[in-house]
């Protein structure tokens, strides 16, 4: 299978200098490596041409964020598998073969994620993806190895191959045919949780999503938007609501969205007590933005199939904050 490894870049010359060498070194399957540049104003393109002439460059006209950036970049690539990978990821020896082998073995598997560990502390899982992603009933994302802000140590407890609900956009493998069949990422998200939406639509279309623990990458995380950035809070809260409107079944969508709005309000109050008022404001802005986008997303859901079963645990919030279950294997 022809594989295209595509790095989305925006003013990330320093990250490319640090992490592109491992990608080139461990490209054991002769994949074609691309850097899709989102209209950078630094010397990223000059650096690549000077130091990595084998890496192909795709120059997007604007910085349309993660969603539009990849949609534009993947329009004309000739490949069977796309590997969408952040510029702040270090790959390891033999990271590609286990994943490509599973694609060859399982025709209905459309999306795969490797194990994602923390570059800054390689004994721990990394926030964005960890050991594979899931959603609770209210649309809150969590991972094996990471529930909210609790990160587990990697003791090889997730060195398996298993079904997951969503794969992290930090290192996201998808069949090209499925990506285009699902019309790619929803560009209205701009960034954050657009990969969850794409995975949800893939699941509702009957495809499988897998995690492969024999493949390991290390992720810096927060290289574009830090966890403390209110813009990240805004995007996560708004886009999570949009996911519910777009992808949950009609029998429960109103109840779920109303419940989430209330839970978000509690989160906003919590930020006040944590002396983080800008995050409370970000949640308020996220809700108003959601209301403005609601008519458009109600039209989108009419074109999609929604299935009842999308969650493994009813409420992770309840179990985490009230019952103290902070590791994936303790969830019930």
User: Do 227 and 330 meet the contact criterion of CB atoms below 8 Å apart?
Assistant: no
pLDDT tens, per residue, the chain with 332 residues: 999 999 999 999 999 999 999 999 999 889 999 999 999 999 999 999 999 999 999 999 999 899 999 999 999 899 999 999 999 999 999 999 999 999 999 999 999 999 999 999 999 999 999 999 999 999 999 999 999 989 999 999 999 999 999 999 999 999 999 999 999 999 999 989 999 999 999 999 999 999 999 999 999 986 454 567 899 999 999 999 999 999 999 999 999 999 999 999 999 999 999 999 999 999 999 999 999 999 999 999 999 999 988 998 999 999 999 999 999 999 98
Q: How many CB atoms lie within 10 A of CB 303?
A: 8
Quick one: the chain helix, strand, coil %, rounded to 5? Answer: 40, 20, 40
Q: For the chain, which domains are there?
A: 3-219 (3.90.550.10), 230-306 (no CATH)
Q: Calculate the dihedral angle through the C-alpha atoms of 95, 96, 99, 103, rounding to the nearest 10 degrees.
A: 180
Predicted TM-score (pTM) of the model is 0.94
Q: What tokens were used for 16?
A: 């490319």
């Amino acid at each position: 299978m022809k594989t295209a490894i595509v790095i989305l870049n925006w003013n990330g010359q320093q990250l490319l200098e640090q992490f592109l060498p491992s990608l080139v070194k461990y490209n054991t399957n002769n994949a074609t490596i691309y850097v899709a540049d989102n209209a950078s104003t630094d010397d990223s393109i000059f650096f690549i041409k000077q130091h990595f002439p084998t890496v192909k460059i795709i120059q997007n006209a604007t910085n349309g964020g993660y969603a539009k950036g990849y949609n534009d970049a993947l329009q004309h690539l000739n490949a069977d598998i796309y590997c969408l990978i952040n510029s702040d990821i270090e790959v390891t020896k033999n990271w590609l073969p286990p994943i490509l082998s599973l694609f060859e073995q399982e025709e209905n598997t459309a999306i795969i994620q490797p194990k994602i560990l923390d570059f800054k502390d390689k004994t721990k899982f990394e926030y964005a993806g960890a050991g594979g992603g899931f959603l609770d009933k209210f649309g809150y994302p969590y991972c094996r190895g990471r529930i909210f802000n609790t990160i587990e140590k990697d003791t090889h407890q997730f060195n398996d191959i298993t079904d997951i609900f969503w794969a992290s956009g930090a290192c996201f493998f998808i069949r090209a045919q499925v990506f285009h069949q699902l019309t790619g990422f929803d560009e209205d998200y701009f960034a954050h949780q657009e990969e969850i939406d794409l995975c949800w639509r893939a699941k509702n279309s009957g495809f499988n999503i897998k995690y492969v623990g024999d493949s390991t990458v290390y992720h810096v995380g927060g290289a574009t938007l830090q966890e403390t950035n209110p813009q990240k809070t805004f995007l996560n809260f708004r886009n999570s609501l949009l996911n519910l409107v777009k992808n949950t079944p009609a029998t429960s969508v109103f109840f779920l969205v109303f419940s989430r709005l209330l839970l978000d309000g509690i989160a906003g109050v919590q930020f006040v007590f944590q002396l983080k008022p800008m995050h409370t404001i970000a949640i308020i802005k996220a809700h108003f933005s959601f209301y403005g986008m609601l008519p458009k997303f109600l039209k989108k859901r009419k074109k999609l199939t929604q299935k009842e079963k999308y969650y493994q645990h009813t409420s992770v919030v309840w179990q985490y904050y009230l019952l103290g279950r902070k590791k994936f294997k303790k969830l019930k």
